[in-house]
């Protein structure tokens, strides 16, 4: 088993830990934190694969993941602050969407 | 820098992430998320991806977590809220754990495959990265910039103060 294998398994583990958080938690803020963990998993995978194969594309994909995470956090937290007034920040209570 | 240090840092990040998604308190979860992100940054440095490591520490562990801190400051973290959160988590973890457990199976079968030669991690130079992102991958860079602008406009829209006419139409 090579170092790349171990790192890819750890990156899958990070993704699955975040997936568990998104599915199991009912507070929107905790789901957003779990989404951050989910995005960190693929980032680790890209960097590890890029370092193993000696190519720069891994770092480039990491930059793209980073931009996605930044946009997601900004929008997610704005939506959270907006919804908290109506539902108290509980995603189960927000079953009806209205503009 | 070596693969061993990268594996150690990624393991620390994995442990911190597991703790982060299971804490009832949002502040503790945020601190553990910060620990996970910083140790991932250490792992990136160990894999000789210096630019990615610096960006990870500056933007992920710096800016993104700072935005979370602003929001965590507004939430209720009293004993009652903690008890309610624990009660929610006690009943809700079984199905997600089963689904995640099923997803682990192919990962375990995939460990053995693909034995490749092992050397030191190849360094990733920031100059090569710039040439790639503003050369061959310029379309992807444009797309991610558009995504960020869309996010900024969305936040501006959600955070706006309603004028008297809009407030009448959308009563709180």
B138 vs B78: CA distance, rounded Å: 48
* Alpha carbon distances (Å) from A38 to A44, A85, B102, B156: 11, 27, 17, 26
Residues of B in contact with A32 (CB under 8 A): 68
Write the residue in A20, A68, A81 that is nearest to B21 by C-beta.
A20
Per-residue pLDDT tens over the stretch B6-26: 998 999 999 999 999 988 888
Among residues A58, A89, A90, which one has the least CA distance to residue B133? A58
- What pLDDT score was predicted for residue B168? 64
* Alpha carbon distances (Å) from A81 to A73, B18, B122, B151: 12, 25, 43, 15
Position B41 confidence tier, pLDDT thresholds 50, 70, 90: very high
B144 or A88, which is more confident: B144
Q: Is the pLDDT of residue B40 over 70?
A: yes
Position A82 confidence tier, pLDDT thresholds 50, 70, 90: confident
Contact A12, A41 (CB under 8 A): yes
- What pLDDT score was predicted for residue B98? 82
- What's chain B's average pLDDT? 83
Contact B36, B21 (CB under 8 A): no
Position B162 confidence tier, pLDDT thresholds 50, 70, 90: low
Beta-carbon contacts below 8 Å between A and B: 223
Task: Give residues 32 to 91 of A whose Cβ lies within 8 Å of B.
Answer: 32-34, 36-37, 40, 43-44, 47-48, 50-60, 62-64, 66-75, 77-82, 84-85, 89
B148 vs A67: CA distance, rounded Å: 7
| Residue boundaries of the structural domains of chain A | 27-86
Position B86 confidence tier, pLDDT thresholds 50, 70, 90: confident
Q: Do B100 and A16 touch (CB under 8 A)?
A: yes
Asked if A14 has any chain B CB less than 8 Å from its own CB, the reply is yes
Measure the CA dihedral B162/B163/B168/B169, to 10°.
-60
Cβ neighbors of B96 (< 8 A, separation 6 or more) are A19, A20, A23, A24
Contact A54, B122 (CB under 8 A): yes
Q: Is the pLDDT of residue A11 over 90?
A: yes
- What pLDDT score was predicted for residue A63? 93
Record the tokens describing residue A32, joined without a space: 């957003």
B83 vs B119: CA distance, rounded Å: 51
Classified by CATH at the fold level, domain A27-86 comes out as: Helix Hairpins (1.10.287)
- What pLDDT score was predicted for residue A90? 74
Contact B46, B9 (CB under 8 A): yes
- What pLDDT score was predicted for residue B164? 63
- Nearest residue in A to B118, CA atom: A2
Question: By mean pLDDT, which of A47-61, B109-123, B142-156 is the weakest?
Answer: B109-123
Q: Is the pLDDT of residue A10 over 60?
A: yes
Among residues A83, A52, A91, A66, which one has the least CA distance to residue B141? A66
Highest mean pLDDT among A88-92, B105-109, B140-144: B140-144
Position B33 confidence tier, pLDDT thresholds 50, 70, 90: very high
* Alpha carbon distances (Å) from B87 to B80, B93, B134, B169: 11, 11, 50, 38
Q: What is the mean pLDDT of residues A76-85?
A: 84
- What pLDDT score was predicted for residue B171? 55
ipTM score of complex: 0.90
B88 or A7, which is more confident: A7
CA-based nearest distance B34→chain A, Å: 10
Position B52 confidence tier, pLDDT thresholds 50, 70, 90: very high
Q: What is the mean pLDDT of residues B124-135?
A: 88
- What's chain A's average pLDDT? 87
B118 vs B66: CA distance, rounded Å: 38
Task: Give residues 14 to 33 of B whose Cβ lies within 8 Å of A.
Answer: 14, 17-18, 20-22, 26, 29-30, 33
Burial of B170 (0-12, 13-18, 19+ CB in 10 A): exposed
């Amino acid at each position: 088993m090579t170092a790349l294998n171990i790192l890819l398994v750890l990156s899958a583990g990070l993704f699955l830990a975040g997936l568990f958080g998104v599915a199991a938690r009912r507070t929107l803020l905790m789901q957003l934190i779990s989404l951050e963990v989910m995005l960190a998993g693929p980032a680790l995978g890209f960097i590890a694969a890029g370092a193993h194969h000696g190519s720069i594309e891994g770092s480039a994909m990491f930059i793209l993941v980073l931009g996605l995470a930044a946009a997601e956090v900004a929008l997610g937290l704005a939506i959270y602050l907006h919804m908290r007034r109506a539902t108290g920040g509980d995603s189960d209570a927000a079953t009806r969407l209205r503009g | 820098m070596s693969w061993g240090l990268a594996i150690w840092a990624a393991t620390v990040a994995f442990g911190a992430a597991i703790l982060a998604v299971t804490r009832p308190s949002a502040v503790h979860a945020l601190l553990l998320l910060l620990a996970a992100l910083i140790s991932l940054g250490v792992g990136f440095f160990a894999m000789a991806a210096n630019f990615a490591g610096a960006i990870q520490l500056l933007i992920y562990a710096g800016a993104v977590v700072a935005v979370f801190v602003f929001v965590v400051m507004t939430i209720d973290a009293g004993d009652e809220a903690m008890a309610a959160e624990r009660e929610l988590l006690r009943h809700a973890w079984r199905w997600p754990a089963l689904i995640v457990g099923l997803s682990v199976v192919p990962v375990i079968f995939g460990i053995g495959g693909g034995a490749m030669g092992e050397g030191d991690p190849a360094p990733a130079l920031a100059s090569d990265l710039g040439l790639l992102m503003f050369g061959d991958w310029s379309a992807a860079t444009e797309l991610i910039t558009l995504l960020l602008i869309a996010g900024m406009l969305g936040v501006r829209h959600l955070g706006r103060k309603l004028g008297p006419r809009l407030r009448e139409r959308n009563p709180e």
